[in-house]
Amino acid sequence: MDKKFGFGCMRLPLIDKDDQTSFDTETFNKMVDTFLEKGFTYFDTAYVYHGYRSEEAVRESLVKRHHRDDFKLATKLPMRDFQSAEDMERIFNEQLEKCGVDYFDYYLLHNIGVNAYKKACEFDSFGFSLRKKQEGKIKNFGMSFHDSPELLDEILAAHPELDFVQLQINYIDWENPGIQSRRCHEVARKHGKPIIVMEPCKGGSLALVPEKAEQLMKEYNPAASVPSWAIRYAASQEGVTMVLSGMNTMEQLLDNMSYMADFKPLNKEEDKILGRVIDIINENTAIPCTTCRYCEKDCPQNIAIPDYFALYNSAKRALSSNFSSQFVYYINLTANHGKAGDCIDCKQCESACPQHLKITELLKDVSATFDVTPSFPTKK
């Protein structure tokens, strides 16, 4: 039986954090080798990850260096990047070439929401993928989903041919009215679909919880890392067959494997502690961004939206004496990006956001915080 933990290739190790294609191949190679040596097999990438280069990185570090039977590979059809049936065929063949494989173990329609579903129906992306499965080029066909449980129910009822569904499930989004993880989970179970979990740590935000929340975790189990609570929470849900985590350091990899090699679900006491943790986090998180970066692709002002949101959240959580460091990071980013206040309210970012954030309004809050001359402490 496969272990319940997969290697997400959306946030790979980089040499230059400002260049999403500057892969640290040596580190990635070591991480891939260690992952496989410990009996883990699942790798998840996508056409658009890392500036459209993640699939190539996976080919170099995984596919070229390991036997095809030793791993399972998932990638996704980019719903925003095709305009015809011919485009889908071209992109699929390009993906096979970029990954260096003859087939994909798992293939997903990427980031399905109301608009992407309309497009999938218009171009029969479901039929296209099913034909690829019949040709033996796809073993399992599914979708990654970011929308309402009502739409999920509609899609799964209309397309029983889907082998699985990939959902965003984490303890902070379980009852979030914008994400509705719990209700989407219930819909998938109603239709009997195996669930693969994405964003168990919500873009890394659940790896860095408020100090008060971390203290609760450490009092119960001093040896358990903060991210382990989030990943085990996701893996503990009924019907979940795989939990994906993006990792860019060996330390993250070793930690995650340490408790997922012999996975044990959360117990009742741990569930109670997470309930208190959720309350604490909700009091401290201003903007629930997962840093997927879909919002940046078509921004006419080249605004570094997820980075600004992360700095804003940090500034809101930090003591006032730490604000200056957030401002310095903001100024550095604006050297090559538009400021938060440069937003022209076109809302292209909002149509691309899986979290359904009101980005243009939130950017006004960010601008009010950072597009000002800060009051730095003075030497006395």
Residue 239 has pLDDT above 90, yes or no: yes
Binning pLDDT at 50, 70 and 90, where does residue 374 land? low
Could you give the CA distance from residue 90 to residue 84 in angstroms, rounded to a whole number?
A: 10
Residue 115 CB coordination number (10 Å): 14
Q: Which residues of 71-82 are buried (b: 16+ CB within 10 A; e: fewer)?
A: bbbbbbbbbbeb
Whole-number pLDDT of residue 327? 82
Q: How many CA atoms lie within 13 A of 321 on its CB side?
A: 1
Q: Which stretches of the chain are DSSP H helices? A: 25-37, 49-52, 54-61, 85-99, 114-122, 125-134, 149-158, 181-190, 211-220, 226-235, 250-260, 268-284, 305-317, 323-334, 348-352, 359-370
- What is the average per-residue pLDDT within 247-266? 96
Tokens of residue 132, six digits: 């690829």
Residues of 320-332 as b/e, b for ≥16 C-beta within 10 angstroms?
A: eeebeebbebbee
Write out the residue limits of the CATH 3.20.20.100 domain(s) in the chain: 5-275
The predicted model scores a pTM of 0.82
149-202 pLDDT, tens digit each: 999 999 999 999 999 999 999 999 898 877 889 999 999 999 999 999 999 998
Mean pLDDT of 216-235: 98
User: Does residue 42 sit in helix, strand or coil?
Assistant: strand
User: What average pLDDT does the chain have?
Assistant: 92
Pick 5-275's CATH classification: 3.20.20.100, 3.40.50.300, 3.40.50.10470, 3.40.30.10.
3.20.20.100
Q: What is the dihedral of CA 29, 224, 245, 3, to 10 degrees?
A: 80
CA angle 284, 227, 75 (to 5 degrees): 110
Place of tokens 């099913």: 130
By C-alpha distance, which of 251, 250, 255, 374 is closest to 311?
A: 374
Indicate the DSSP class of residue 303. B
pLDDT tens per residue, range 271-302: 999 999 999 988 877 898 888 999 998 899 99
